[in-house]
Structure 1
Amino acid sequence: MKEFATLDKAIELAQQGYAVYPLIDNTKKPPKGVAGYQAATSDQNTIFAWFKKHPTYNLGLRLDLSDLLVVDVDMHEPTKNGRTSLVQLFKQGQTLPSDTHIEGTANGGLHYFLKYAGAKVRKVDVWPGIDLLSDFTVIAPSEINGKPYEPLDGRTLADIKPAPQWLVDKLAGQKVNWTSEYACTTHQKKYTGRLLDEMVTGTTQGNRNDWLTKMIGRLFVTGAEPETVYELACSINERFIDQPLETKEVTTIYNSILKREMKRFERNSIRNSRIAG
């Protein structure tokens, strides 16, 4: 990345009225002392102070203040290929405007930028490999592991097109399903289903410790192995908490609950042995 390219882009966006914020270089995390997207601003003095001292910082864009929506198309896993999901949507006549501003992401995905004035959302895997974001996003010229976010076809935020009506309906909670081959069988939602729904909904910065504590406790209730619970806890923290906790904090919470669960297991074992005897 060219030195001060991020600063130049941040100032350019601020001049256009967009609110931006810094992210630690090579990550999607804000630096210490910056409250993530909630600290986003178009004040050029603040932006200059952020990026002049750290020219290799990545750049975040606050979406809700500008009535923007990002359709985040990922290809992290074979079973969650966002481009395959786009093809399935296309077959149903549900397409995204190809002439809107689109950025290639560092992991080979796509960010479709659209105009959207609805309520703030952050919905993960609305379709396999496709997230819908209207709160914040990483934007070019950010880089992850040397791979850049970059605009396609020379378009800019000035080229953003309105979100199609079918997508607005989806965000408003109206029914927009896959064809029958992708439909899920309707059944009563069980404990694990409710847990997964709550997990994906996530939480905000002010409630993250209590929320993650509850999630870890409920994961233990499923009977999963402790190693599985820890791996899921780390993943939940990274993906579903607005401004994730430090890993050491996640570990501290996990160890505390693990200790509690072990004591409970010991008490139940003693009680059961007495009953059996």
Structure 2
Amino acid sequence: MEEFSSLYAALDLVESGYEIYPLSANTKTPPKGHHGYLEATRDQNTIVDWFQNNPDYNLGLRLDTSHLLVVDVDIHDSTKNGKDSLMKLQRQGKTLSPDTYIEKTAGGGLHYFFKYTGDKVRKVNNWPGIDLLTDFTVIAPSEINGKPYAPLDGRTLADIKPAPQWLVDKLAGQKVNWSSEHTYTTRQKKYTGRLLDEMVTGTAKGNRNAWLTKIAGRMFGVGASPKTVYNMLSVINDSFVDPALPSKEVNVIFQSILKRESKGVH
């Protein structure tokens, strides 16, 4: 990534009315001491401070305040290939506009951007390999392991089209109640709440196996069933581990913790 390219992109975005926030270099996670999309801003002085001091930062875009929806098509796992899911949806007459703003992701997937004014959602694996995001996303020119997020065909956010009606209908009724978010943050945070916060904070390369092992043990510790632990590990790995571990490694982690827990029971 060229020096200050994130800064220049950030300033262009805020001039167009979007709110942005920093991500640690080479990751999808906020820098230590930052709060992700919750501190997204249009204040240019703040943005200059962030990116001048850390020119290698990746760039995050807050979606809900911009009334945007991102359809995240992943190809990390052969058993959950988002492009295969797109083909199945197309055969059902459910298509995504090829003319909207689309980015190729660092993992080789696609981010379709649409205008959307419905309820705020973050629906992971809505179809195999496809997530629906209206809260936040990584955006170009961010890079992970030298592989950049990049617009297709020289498009810009000015090319974003309205979300197709079938997708709006799909999201109807999947509302997440965010109105009382402040009420919850004022309560004393219990162990399970801290565990959930840690899950969605995620981790990056170099700490993935140990971190997932710790998370698995803590889920068993709060009484989750083996099936729940395994399913949650898979979701956490796909969504919050950067880059995601292969499924077989997640399975090894799960089996090792399950074996340990079984010994404890007996």
Answer whether TM exceeds 0.5 for this pair.
yes
Question: What is the aligned partner in structure 2 of residue 222 from structure 1?
Answer: 226
Question: What is the aligned partner in structure 2 of residue 37 from structure 1?
Answer: 37
Identity, in percent, stands at 62
Structure 2 counterparts to residues 226-265 of structure 1, below 5 A: 233=233, 236=236, 239=239, 265=265
CA contact (8 A) 2:220 2:226 kept: no
Deviations 1:161-208 (CA, angstroms, capped at 9, x unpaired): 00000000000049xxxxxxxxxxxxxxxxxxxxxxxxxxxxx99774
CA gap 1:155/1:43 in 2 versus in 1, 3 angstroms: same
**Unaligned stretches of 5+ in structure 2?**
175-183, 200-214, 242-256
Quote the Cα distance in structure 1 between the aligned partners of 2:47 and 2:112: 25
CA gap 1:73/1:33 in 2 versus in 1, 3 angstroms: same
3-state SS of the aligned residue for 2:29?
coil
The answer as to 2:69 corresponding to 1:69 is yes
Quote the Cα distance in structure 2 between the aligned partners of 1:71 and 1:154: 19
CA gap 1:126/1:210 in 2 versus in 1, 3 angstroms: same
Quote the Cα distance in structure 2 between the aligned partners of 1:105 and 1:91: 25
Quote the Cα distance in structure 1 between the aligned partners of 2:47 and 2:88: 41
The answer as to 2:213 corresponding to 1:209 is no
Quote the Cα distance in structure 1 between the aligned partners of 2:172 and 2:64: 16
3-state SS of the aligned residue for 1:209?
helix
**Unaligned stretches of 5+ in structure 1?**
175-203, 242-256, 270-277
Work out the number of aligned pairs and report it. Answer: 218
Deviation at 1:215, TM superposition (A): 3.6
Runs of 4+ in 1 over 6 A off after TM superposition: 204-207
Quote the Cα distance in structure 2 between the aligned partners of 1:237 and 1:92: 30
User: Could you say which structure has the larger radius of gyration?
Assistant: 1
Deviation at 1:221, TM superposition (A): 3.4
3-state SS of the aligned residue for 2:42?
coil
Quote the Cα distance in structure 2 between the aligned partners of 1:239 and 1:215: 17
Question: What is the aligned partner in structure 2 of residue 103 from structure 1?
Answer: 103
CA gap 1:25/1:208 in 2 versus in 1, 3 angstroms: farther
Deviation at 1:217, TM superposition (A): 3.4
CA gap 1:145/1:119 in 2 versus in 1, 3 angstroms: same
Question: What is the aligned partner in structure 1 of residue 55 from structure 2?
Answer: 55
Backbone CA RMSD of aligned residues: 3.2
CA gap 1:74/1:47 in 2 versus in 1, 3 angstroms: same
Quote the Cα distance in structure 2 between the aligned partners of 1:236 and 1:105: 19
CA contact (8 A) 2:220 2:261 kept: no
CA gap 1:161/1:146 in 2 versus in 1, 3 angstroms: same
